[in-house]
Structure formats: structure tokens, C-alpha cells
């Protein structure tokens, strides 16, 4: 289990997170809702130590403190971030991008087996394996970004806005795939502005507003909460 206690984060004078405490239980999908600037990306960045902010508090994985460990050490413990905006290597092919996810683990690991696992999840990438990332559609790029993370054999995937910029049909497809990956035993922490879809696939959700946790609960219950409905769900 991942347990965050009293986590605060600052960028210089700007407080991005203010005493946030939450838990992500193994093999669950946990969504984090919040509007622009609420601190969602900062929270994922703190967990993976991939943001340049000052952190205070505690982040424990199975009871062991991970706050302050290097990003590589955190990845090797199984926590892998899929950053907002995909951040692929544009000039590299699909397969080269995927192999970057196994970088550092290639010796002693059967990366080809991992590659086959990614292609089984995303069959569309098989026919595009030699195409450079820059020429892929947004949905395909997102698949590569998630696939690259899977190459690191995560026990927990941290997804930052996977639906950003995608057409509604693709959004649904990506979320269904996230659920499928979770079905293979991977815990998921999902940051999303598409609250409706995020709640649809989540077991539990938290609401972050201006760096503070303002609500939490099982996803089906939060989906009926009047504040959540008016602030994040709006009209169907």
C-alpha cells in the first residue's frame, strides 16, 4: 500500500500541496480529481521524485519511507509515472520508445516478453512498431507512453491526464485499457480532469482543491456527491 501523510510541497513561495494525506491500496484504481492548478501533477511528481519542489511529510510504500529516494530507486520499487503530455522521444520509433522503458533493467530481464505483453495490450502498436513517435496520433502516442511504463514492470502506474487532447471515443478506449492493466494486478493512481471517466473506472477517489484534500470516498458515492457533481461532472 502507498500511504501519503501530511505531505506539503512548495515551489519557492508558492504552496502547491498543503498537508495532504491519502492512501492507495494495492490492486485498486484510485483517481485524483481537481481543476487546473489544484496540485495533482505535483502530487504524482512528489511520489516519483520527479518535480523540483520542496517536500515535507511522508510517503511510504508498504511501510517504508520513499520520500527523498531518487526517481530510479522509486522506479525500481515499482512506481512508474506516465507524465502529462506523454513526453515521448519524437524521433525514435514506437519500439525504440518502448524499449526505453526497460532501460536499466535490460540485463537479466526478458524485455522481449515485456514487449509482447505491451503489444498484446495495444495491438495497434504492432503495425506501427517502426513508425517514429512524432507521426503517431494522440491516442497512439498515449498508448506508447503507457506501454513504455509497462516495460518497467510497474506494480503501480501513476497516470497524469491520459485523456488530454483525445477524442471521446479514444478517451473511452484508453480508460478501458487502464482498467484492463489494473485487472492484471497493477495498482493505478489516475490524475484526470475528465472526472466522469475517472470515476467510472476508479474504486476510490480523492478531490484536491488548491493544494488541499477536500473530499474522498468510493467512486460511485463521490459521483453522486452534490459538490462533485456541480464542480466536476456538470451536465451529462
Contact footprint for ligand ATP (CB under 6 A):
11, 14, 16, 34, 36-42, 52, 193
Of 154 and 211, the one with the shorter C-beta distance to ligand ATP is 211
Indicate the SS3 state at residue 80.
strand
> Which string of DSSP letters, residue by residue, matches 25-65?
-TT-EEEEE--TTSSHHHHHHHHTT-S-SEEEEEEEETTEE
Least CB distance from residue 37 to ligand ATP, whole Å? 4
Least gap, CB of 14 to ligand ATP (angstroms):
5
Q: Tell the smallest beta-carbon distance from residue 2 to ligand ATP (Å).
A: 18
Q: Which is nearer to ligand ATP, 36 or 113 (CB)?
A: 36
Query: Which of 222, 212, 217 is closest to 20 using CA atoms?
Result: 212
Strands of the chain (E only): list them. 2-11, 14-24, 29-33, 54-61, 64-65, 79-82, 156-160, 187-192, 204-209, 212-218
CA-CA distances (angstroms) from residue 180 to 118, 120, 197? 12, 11, 15
In angstroms, what is the minimal distance from the CB of 18 to ligand ATP? 11
Closest CB to ligand ATP among residues 118, 228: 228
Question: CA distances (Å), 48 to each of 53, 91, 157, in order?
Answer: 12, 26, 11
- Phi/psi region, residue 12 (left: phi>0; alpha: psi -120 to 50; beta: rest), is left
Q: Is 170 helix (H, G, I), strand (E, B) or coil?
A: helix
Nearer to ligand ATP, 203 or 209 (CB): 209
In whole angstroms, how close is the CB of 218 to ligand ATP at the nearest point?
Answer: 22
Q: In the beta sheet, which residues pair with residue 64?
A: 61
User: What's the closest the beta carbon of residue 190 comes to ligand ATP, in angstroms?
Assistant: 12
Q: Please, which residue, 11 or 103, has the CB nearer to ligand ATP? A: 11
**Is the CB of 114 or the CB of 192 nearer to ligand ATP?**
192
Amino acid at each position: 500500500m502507498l500511504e501519503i501523510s501530511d505531505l506539503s510541497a512548495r515551489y519557492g513561495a508558492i504552496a502547491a500541496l498543503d498537508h495532504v494525506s491519502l492512501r492507495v491500496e494495492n490492486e485498486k484504481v484510485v483517481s485524483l480529481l481537481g481543476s487546473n492548478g489544484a496540485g495533482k501533477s505535483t502530487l504524482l511528481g512528489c511520489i516519483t521524485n520527479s518535480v523540483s519542489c520542496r517536500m515535507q511529510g511522508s510517503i511510504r510504500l508498504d511501510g517504508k519511507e520513499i520520500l527523498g529516494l531518487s526517481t530510479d530507486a522509486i522506479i525500481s520499487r515499482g512506481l512508474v509515472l506516465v507524465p502529462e503530455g506523454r513526453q515521448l522521444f519524437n524521433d525514435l520509433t514506437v519500439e525504440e520508445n518502448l524499449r526505453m522503458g526497460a532501460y536499466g533493467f535490460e540485463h537479466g530481464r526478458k524485455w522481449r516478453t515485456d514487449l509482447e505483453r505491451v503489444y498484446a495490450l495495444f495491438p495497434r502498436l504492432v503495425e506501427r512498431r517502426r513508425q517514429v513517435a512524432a507521426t503517431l496520433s494522440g491516442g497512439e502516442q498515449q498508448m506508447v507512453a503507457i506501454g513504455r511504463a509497462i516495460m518497467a514492470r510497474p506494480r503501480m502506474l501513476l497516470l497524469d491526464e491520459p485523456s488530454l487532447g483525445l477524442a471521446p471515443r479514444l478517451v473511452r478506449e484508453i480508460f478501458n485499457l487502464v482498467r484492463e492493466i489494473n485487472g492484471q494486478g497493477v495498482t493505478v493512481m489516475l490524475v484526470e480532469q475528465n472526472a466522469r471517466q475517472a470515476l467510472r473506472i476508479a474504486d476510490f477517489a480523492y478531490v484536491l482543491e488548491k493544494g488541499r484534500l477536500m473530499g474522498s470516498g468510493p467512486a460511485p458515492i463521490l459521483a453522486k456527491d452534490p459538490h462533485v457533481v456541480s464542480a466536476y461532472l456538470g451536465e451529462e
